[in-house]
Amino acid sequence: MSILSANNLSKAYGERRIISDISVRLEKGEVVSLLGVSGIGKTTLFNILSGLEAPDSGSVFLSGEDVTGRSGLVGYMQQNDLLLPFKSIADNVVIPLLLRGEKKKSAIEKALALFPEFGLEGLENYYPAQLSGGMRQRAALLRSFFYSSEVLLMDEPFSALDAITRSGMQLWFRKIAREHGLSAFIITHDVNEALLLSDRIYILGGRPGRITHELPNSVPDGENQELTEEFLKNKIRITEFINGE
């Protein structure tokens, strides 16, 4: 059974249909990219998957249970880190735990235990403004992880970073995702990112947005994989799929 699945989702704002008849699934421990150009309805799809918006038709299932229109069940990491500028990094990452009613002391202890792995050791008392964009994204990911270590929805999580930091973050995320068996949907319009991080890739196209292709992908190991012949072939193929729409 898929950990998260959506069947035949459609959504319109007024007369404008944004997505049409979209079905996607996410297996446990799988990282799946949703690739498509801007304005194709990727964020609308995420809002529906996270329960922030209800679809006009179709259903969302979390571990087999119908959760359509119910928010608060999956972790949602957005494009910007959305860290609260007036809270320390430790206080930021424990927000989901506190919202669940956990005591602050034990929440902070849990967070500090994961700080080294997330590259945040020694930064617990820093304010977000004192950290680089990459470090802030790490903190945002840890916060999402605390919200749901089962399913993460990541909306262009590294797009606000410079190219060098983004590349480092992608490698790091790949490692973290494997070690923790994360199940994540990642929205991206970066073909490289999709190929570097995903076990599967959905390509969204058309107006209204729909799934045009579903492609398996093997996540390459090591650095500089984007320079291999196989990677470049896959990149050309996917780019052709996107441009063909």
| Residues of this chain that bind other proteins (CB under 8 A) | 50-52, 71-72, 76, 78, 80, 82, 84-87, 95-96, 99, 127-130, 147
- Residue 146 beta carbon to other proteins: minimum distance, rounded to whole angstroms: 10
Tell me the CB-side half-sphere exposure of residue 143, using CA atoms within 13 A: 28
Nearer to other proteins, 74 or 211 (CB): 74
- Residue 51 beta carbon to other proteins: minimum distance, rounded to whole angstroms: 8
Nearest to 142 by CA among 188, 108, 191, 103: 108
- Residue 77 beta carbon to other proteins: minimum distance, rounded to whole angstroms: 9
- Residue 149 beta carbon to other proteins: minimum distance, rounded to whole angstroms: 14
Contact (Cβ atoms closer than 8 angstroms) between residue 158 and residue 169: yes
Nearer to other proteins, 54 or 82 (CB): 82
Triad 81, 83, 86: Cα angle to 5°: 155
Nearer to other proteins, 46 or 115 (CB): 46
Q: Is 103 exposed, middle or buried (0-12, 13-18, 19+ CB in 10 A)?
A: exposed
d(CA 150, CA 172): 19
Nearer to other proteins, 84 or 236 (CB): 84
- Residue 147 beta carbon to other proteins: minimum distance, rounded to whole angstroms: 6
- 65 Cβ partners below 8 Å, 6+ apart? none
Nearer to other proteins, 124 or 226 (CB): 124
d(CA 187, CA 153): 8
- 39 Cβ partners below 8 Å, 6+ apart? none
